[in-house]
Amino acid sequence: MNVAVIGAGGREHALSYKIAQSPQLDSLYIIPGNPGTESLGKNIAIDISQKNEILNFCKSNNVKLVIVGPEQPLVDGLSDLLRANDIFVFGPSSKAAEIEGDKSFAKNLMKKYGIPTASFEVFKKSDKKAAFDYLHSSIFPVVIKASGLAAGKGVIICKNFDEGIKTVDDFFEHNRFGESGHTIVIEEFMEGEEASIFAVTDGEDFIILPPAQDHKRIGDGDTGPNTGGMGAYAPAPIVTTKILTIIEEKIISKTLDALQNEGKKFIGCLYCGLMFTDEGPKVVEFNCRFGDPETQCVLPLLEGDFLKLLFSSAGGSIEKDSIHYNGGSSVCVVAASQGYPNKYEKGFEIKGLDSVFDNVYIFHAGTKKKENKIITNGGRVLGITSFISNNNLTIAKQKAYDACNRIYFNGIIFRNDIADRAIK
């Protein structure tokens, strides 16, 4: 079959890498793709916001399945348009994508259906005084989140009342995240360890992929500002078989049922960002797509036909035996541009990509080809990812960092402690 992957980042490179292994694949198109995806299929220079252009391309090229990587096209209704034209889509409708696109909706859904999460209140820009009053009676720290999409950066942990007031003003008055921050969620700060769970679903049944753990902060030891993710590893040992059963029953099944009850049946990857508290796992956030950089370390751990899994899910009858965990381990280290997640320079040549690596794959994220050279073109530039056949994160980490030290561009930065929590 002919398949199109929508997106240009490391996640889409990883999806393309896995899909390209399927015996069912005829042609793979990546819209718009990046220099790393060129060897796996054909990059198509269409802006992902141009829904009708994507539709016309898919029709002209007999594309049978579209896999949508980023959240914005899902929230904007790309899946709806394609499905209305008889094209299978792995990715939720715009209504179901509200689980990520509107945090206030997600929190209220969890409250209504008894899905465990932090206690919270929702405030609009016109409710600023009420938000201040709520902060005045809160126990700190608290977490303040932009309700709309903010590229994974719209979450601020406030240690005291003054920080809370400043953050609310930043969101409401200084438009820190534009309209996305004009509705906010203020919630209790949860203590514990986090993990990312991907549930691939046809809307009713689902399969869980190997659990991963992301590293959001820019610096070692989880210091500095939040980013889109500085690295990940899988499997995450904190997610035991017993805990996974609880997650399946109390979170994923209940969430899929809740969405269906609300007329928002979810087809695609339901990403569950979880906190493991003394009271059990609780939802930090839901996303309506695969995570980045977790996808880069989860997909190499799958044996079988990943494309078959996605196609059957999109068709409404998931074939869960299409894939299985191969028993290995993987570590992804994000190489970023100095200054990220704030202002950074780009356009620097990346050297060392032609090195021969043992059990390491380099996923491109913020890269661009110029005069036959690969240059930096974003904050998160590469996902340097190891994968080994046995579950030994110590060796997987060593291989990933050996590769990191052989790749260079001006201003390269990366964390040095990815997977340390699990190893220790």
pLDDT higher than threshold 80 for residue 314: yes
Q: 3-state secondary structure string, the chain?
A: CEEEEEECCHHHHHHHHHHCCCCCCCEEEEEECCCCHHHCCEECCCCCCCHHHHHHHHHHCCEEEEEECCHHHHHCCHHHHHHHCCCEEECCCCCCCHHHHCHHHHHHHHHHHCCCECCEEEEEHHHHHHHHHHHHCCCCCEEEEECCCCCCCCEEEECCHHHHHHHHHHHHCCCCCHHHHCEEEEEECCCCEEEEEEEEECCCCEEECCCEEECCEEECCCEEEECCCCEEEECCCCCCHHHHHHHHHHHHHHHHHHHHHCCCCCCEEEEEEEEEECCEEEEEEEECCCCCCHHHHHHHHEEECHHHHHHHHHCCCCCHHHEEECCCEEEEEEEEECCCCCCCCCCCECECCCCCCCCEEEEECCEEEECCEEEECCCEEEEEEEEECCCCHHHHHHHHHHHHCCCECCCEECCCCCCHHHHC
Q: Residue 347: give its domain's CATH number.
A: 3.30.470.20
Same domain for 241 and 339? yes
pLDDT higher than threshold 80 for residue 25: yes
The reply to whether 22 falls in a domain is yes
* Residue ranges making up the domain that contains 127: 120-188
Same domain for 16 and 61? yes
pLDDT at 150: 83
- Tell me the pLDDT band of 1, cut-offs 50, 70 and 90: very high
Please write the tens of the pLDDT for every residue from 223-235. 998 899 999 999 9
pLDDT higher than threshold 90 for residue 356: no
pLDDT at 355: 87
Same domain for 166 and 225? no
pLDDT higher than threshold 90 for residue 12: yes
Q: What is the mean pLDDT of the chain?
A: 96
The reply to whether 12 falls in a domain is yes
Model-level pTM? 0.95
Same domain for 356 and 378? yes
Same domain for 181 and 205? no
Same domain for 350 and 382? yes
pLDDT higher than threshold 90 for residue 143: yes
pLDDT at 226: 86
